[in-house]
A and B are shown apart, each in its own frame.
Chain A
Amino acid sequence: MSIARLAVTTERLDLDALIGAVSSAVEADAEGTGAITSFLGLVREHNLGRRVIKLEYEAYEPLAVRTFERIADEITERWPAAQVAVHHRVGVLAIGEASVAIAAASPHRADAFAACRYAIERIKQIVPIWKREFFDGGDVWIEGATADPDDAAAREDAYRRACV
């Protein structure tokens, strides 16, 4: 059974399923899959000197999925043979649980690494997902980037971080 390659979910993330999804996607391509890279973002116990108890993620789901699609299109534009799958979890997550899972497949490793790194950098810039950190003594909404998909400088920054 095939899974949605781009999704927001309340379920525990299954990286193997994402790897399977991108692997079969590239096999249709002439060169075939030569490399798969993956990324799992976890809930960390310490942030900015605070001891974190749990995180709560919230998404504007329809726009989040559309923005994943946009990022996948940007990846295809830059690395035409690469395929990515992204699942982001929402709800309350304990320390050590995975909040985001990414798999990137390509005929060659350089593009697979770059596409995977680019995906997480762009997610943090433009996908409408927020986290609330509960720590010893209180809680706070974490606010990062003003989401602007058309900001060329941000996109360029993500490419630079992807080491291309």
Chain B
Amino acid sequence: MRVSVRVFARLRDIVGAAELEREVPAGASVRRLWDGLVAEFPDAGAYAGSLSAAVNTEYAKMDTELHNGDEVAFLPPVSGGEGVATPRIGRCSTN
């Protein structure tokens, strides 16, 4: 079956495209698709421990089963908002 793959930010730079189409076996999981991408683009493997995934614009787990025509997104650690993302400071004060 065929799925579309979207990648963002530095992961997009590594893959060299924002969107790909890939064949995966019936019943394949998000992880299977990811492992295939890492085989193709070894530098993407650096995200193994920090990656998030979405299927059809909903967050999904790596063991989520894919279906023909799904849109799968692989997301590096996010950094929206202002300044550096989630600094370990700024604890609440009652002053």
> B78 and A130: CB pair below 8 A?
yes
Q: How many residues of B contact A (CB 8 A)?
A: 29
Question: Which residue of chain A has its CB nearest to the CB of B90?
Answer: A161
Partner of A146, one of B50, B54, B81: B50
Q: How far is the CB of A112 from chain B (nearest CB, A)?
A: 16
- Are B86 and A125 interface neighbours, CB within 8 A? yes
Which residues from A are CB-within-8-Å of B59? Answer: 63, 67, 147-150
With beta carbons under 8 angstroms apart, the residue of B54, B79, B86, B91 that contacts A130 is B79
Chain A, Cβ-Cβ closest to B80: A129
Size of the chain A interface, CB-CB below 8 angstroms: 43
Alpha-carbon distance A146/B80, docked complex (angstroms): 12
Binding-face segment, B6-14, B22-30, B37-45 = B6-14
> Can you spell out 10 A-B residue pairs with CB atoms less than 8 angstroms apart?
A41-B82, A100-B81, A124-B80, A144-B77, A147-B75, A147-B78, A148-B52, A149-B59, A161-B90, A163-B94
**Chain A interfacial positions (CB closer than 8 Å to B):** 41-44, 47-48, 57-60, 62-64, 66-67, 88, 99-100, 120, 123-132, 141-150, 160-163
| A-binding residues in B (CB < 8 A) | 6, 8-10, 13, 50-52, 54, 57-59, 73, 75-86, 90-92, 94
